[in-house]
């Protein structure tokens, strides 16, 4: 068993380079199945979700050569299998993209149901709605999704819920469909735009990604031999921006796209923090106690649910009483019970949590309950007086590359210990 041992209280300062986006990378890798050829993906984050997605592709018959820890040359011309096993797909959420990609390529697919952070029900009914609209027969049984289609025909699809996964999955399934597919009420996250940019760079015809109406005109095939660099991770960037706020620090983030963080930047400034943007760098500093805030999570460009727990740490230390309304997931406040062990004063009821700010937190043994909660608890340990021991690191390693090293370079006293 591994744990992180963190000695607080540290004001973080210095520079950190942001890695490629997890939620783009885990979609781009299965998207290469559509090429039936070769492509090189750069700026891949070195995280376990990416490793597992690559392992699945290799089990399907792909050849993957790692040119360095963040660059993979993927050859999917040798893929001859459209069945992905439940024991692998259940390890993370993004295995669902294999359904859209394999359906597109083989008109046949059998993929184990996805797993991922425990945030509530996490249905895939909107994914299935899209596949069926394109002409596929879809069945969910015995822990897997099977789908088949004589032909995939472009169709108008109106999303009942704004869904990142379903939007990307329907794009993957419609790239070769005959005619035009329209996704109305589409999600607009940067990783959706990244997947569309990648596919368009090799011959797909996808328009409107990043807006709520996306049109996909079916094409015959995609080009082999290209190279594509994954978009910077706006959630990792936001995590470090909030770490600067929680610790009264001064951090310069490199390799960012500041427009992807406009909502968070506005909130940080509202709470008394300072944000300087210059090119692909963002400097965040806060030399006084943050003031309270009201947070409502929403689909992009609203406040990201994936930064909710990290913001919760700042609110736990802010001056005044704050409120978070979590409008995306049914159950994303488990981390508050861990913060209470550290002296925070938080009450939560359903989708709402109230934070009565305290002057300081105190170190304690705490447990990561999901990927972003784990990151939040690292921030809390750095901001707290005394020693924090953080367990369940597997959650964090799914989505953050070398996280303790990045925090150590910013002055944190943090080590990974194998018990």
Q: According to CB under 6 A, which one of 95, 126, 239, 308 is a site residue for ligand EPZ?
A: 126
Gap between the Cα atoms of 110 and 138, Å rounded: 10
- Which residue number has the CB closest to ligand EPZ? 165
Beta carbon of residue 160, minimum distance to ligand EPZ (angstroms, whole number): 7
Using rule CB under 6 A, residue 2 touches ligand EPZ: no
Q: Which residue has the tokens 């991770």?
A: 233
Gap between the Cα atoms of 121 and 339, Å rounded: 24
- What would the two tokens of residue 268 be? 């940080």
Q: Is 14 left (phi over 0), alpha (psi -120 to 50) or beta?
A: left
Using CA atoms, how far residue 133 sits from 29, 78, 172, 174, in Å, is: 25, 29, 14, 10
54 is catalytic: no
Which region among 34-42, 158-166, 209-217, 389-397 touches ligand EPZ (by CB under 6 A)?
158-166
Beta carbon of residue 150, minimum distance to ligand EPZ (angstroms, whole number): 24
Q: According to CB under 6 A, which one of 3, 91, 127, 406 is a site residue for ligand EPZ?
A: 127
In degrees, rounded to 5, the angle at the alpha carbon of residue 30 between the alpha carbons of residues 28 and 32 is 70
Q: According to CB under 6 A, which one of 26, 175, 183, 186 is a site residue for ligand EPZ?
A: 26
Gap between the Cα atoms of 103 and 4, Å rounded: 41
Q: Nearer Cβ to ligand EPZ, position 168 or 252? A: 168
Q: According to CB under 6 A, which one of 399, 400, 401, 403 is a site residue for ligand EPZ?
A: 399
Q: According to CB under 6 A, which one of 371, 378, 390, 393 is a site residue for ligand EPZ?
A: 371
Q: Nearer Cβ to ligand EPZ, position 136 or 286? A: 136
Which region among 63-71, 157-165, 204-212, 276-284 touches ligand EPZ (by CB under 6 A)?
157-165
Using CA atoms, how far residue 156 sits from 130, 144, 215, in Å, is: 9, 26, 9
Peptide bond into 9 cis (omega under 30): yes
Q: According to CB under 6 A, which one of 161, 227, 287, 321 is a site residue for ligand EPZ?
A: 161
Q: Nearer Cβ to ligand EPZ, position 99 or 149? A: 99
Beta carbon of residue 127, minimum distance to ligand EPZ (angstroms, whole number): 5
Give one DSSP letter per residue of 362-418, joined into a string.
B--EEE--SHHHHHHHHHHHHHSBEEEEEE-HHHHHTT-TTHHHHHHHTT-EEEEEE
Q: According to CB under 6 A, which one of 21, 39, 54, 124 is a site residue for ligand EPZ?
A: 124
The count of chain residues that interact with ligand EPZ, using the rule CB under 6 A, is 26
Using rule CB under 6 A, residue 171 touches ligand EPZ: no
Q: Is 295 helix (H, G, I), strand (E, B) or coil?
A: strand
Q: Nearer Cβ to ligand EPZ, position 27 or 246? A: 27
Q: Nearer Cβ to ligand EPZ, position 119 or 314? A: 119
Catalytic residue among 54, 117, 256, 263: 117
Q: According to CB under 6 A, which one of 14, 123, 143, 350 is a site residue for ligand EPZ?
A: 123
Q: According to CB under 6 A, which one of 57, 192, 253, 328 is a site residue for ligand EPZ?
A: 328
Q: Which residue has the tokens 């999303």?
A: 159
Q: Nearer Cβ to ligand EPZ, position 246 or 368? A: 368
Q: According to CB under 6 A, which one of 94, 286, 293, 379 is a site residue for ligand EPZ?
A: 94
Beta carbon of residue 92, minimum distance to ligand EPZ (angstroms, whole number): 7
Using rule CB under 6 A, residue 306 touches ligand EPZ: yes
Residues 308, 336 contacting (CB under 8 angstroms): no
Question: 65, exposed or middle or buried, with CB in 10 Å at 0-12, 13-18, 19+?
Answer: exposed
Q: Which residue has the tokens 């809390």?
A: 380
Using rule CB under 6 A, residue 23 touches ligand EPZ: yes
Question: 251, exposed or middle or buried, with CB in 10 Å at 0-12, 13-18, 19+?
Answer: buried
DSSP state of 145: E
Which region among 117-125, 246-254, 269-277, 318-326 touches ligand EPZ (by CB under 6 A)?
117-125
Beta strand 321-325 pairing with 294-296:
parallel
Q: Which residues bind ligand EPZ (CB under 6 A)?
A: 22-23, 26, 93-94, 117, 121-127, 161, 163-166, 187, 305-306, 328-329, 371-372, 399
**Catalytic machinery residues:** 117
């Amino acid at each position: 068993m591994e744990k992180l041992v963190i000695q607080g209280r540290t004001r973080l300062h210095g520079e950190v380079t942001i890695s490629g986006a997890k939620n783009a990378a885990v979609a781009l890798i299965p998207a290469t199945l559509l090429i039936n050829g070769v492509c090189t993906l750069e700026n891949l984050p070195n995280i376990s979700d990416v490793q597992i997605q690559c392992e699945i592709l290799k089990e399907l018959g792909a050849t993957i050569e790692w040119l360095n820890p963040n660059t993979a040359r993927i050859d999917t011309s040798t893929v001859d299998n459209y069945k992905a096993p439940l024991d692998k797909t259940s390890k993370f959420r993004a295995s669902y993209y294999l359904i859209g990609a394999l359906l597109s390529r083989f008109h046949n697919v059998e993929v184990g149901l996805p797993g991922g952070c425990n945030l509530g029900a996490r249905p895939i009914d909107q994914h299935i709605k899209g596949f069926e609209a394109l002409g596929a027969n879809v069945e969910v049984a015995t822990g897997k999704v099977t789908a088949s289609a004589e032909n995939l025909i472009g169709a108008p699809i109106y999303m009942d819920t704004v869904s990142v996964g379903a939007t990307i999955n329907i794009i993957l399934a419609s790239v070769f469909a005959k005619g035009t597919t329209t996704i109305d009420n589409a999600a607009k996250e940067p990783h959706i735009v990244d997947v569309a940019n990648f596919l368009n760079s090799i011959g797909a015809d996808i328009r409107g990604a990043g807006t709520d109406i996306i049109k996909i005109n079916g094409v015959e095939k995609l080009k082999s031999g290209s190279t594509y660099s994954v978009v910077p991770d706006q959630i990792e960037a936001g995590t470090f921006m909030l770490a600067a706020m929680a610790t009264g620090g001064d951090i310069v983030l490199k390799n960012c796209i500041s427009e992807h963080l406009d909502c968070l930047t506005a909130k940080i400034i509202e709470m008394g923090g300072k944000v300087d943007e210059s090119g692909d760098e963002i400097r965040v500093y806060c030399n006084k106690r943050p003031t309270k805030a009201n947070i409502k999570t929403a689909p992009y460009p609203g406040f990201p649910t994936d930064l909710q727990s990290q913001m919760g740490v700042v609110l736990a230390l802010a001056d005044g009483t704050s409120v978070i309304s979590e409008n995306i997931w049914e159950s994303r406040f488990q981390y508050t019970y861990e913060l209470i062990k550290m002296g925070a004063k938080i009450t939560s009821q359903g989708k709402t949590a109230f934070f009565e700010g305290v002057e300081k937190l105190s170190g304690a043994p705490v447990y990561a309950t999901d990927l972003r909660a784990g990151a939040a608890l690292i921030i809390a340990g750095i901001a707290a007086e005394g020693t924090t021991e953080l367990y369940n690191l597997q959650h964090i390693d799914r989505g953050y590359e070398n996280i303790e090293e990045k925090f150590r370079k910013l002055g944190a006293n943090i080590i990974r210990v194998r018990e």
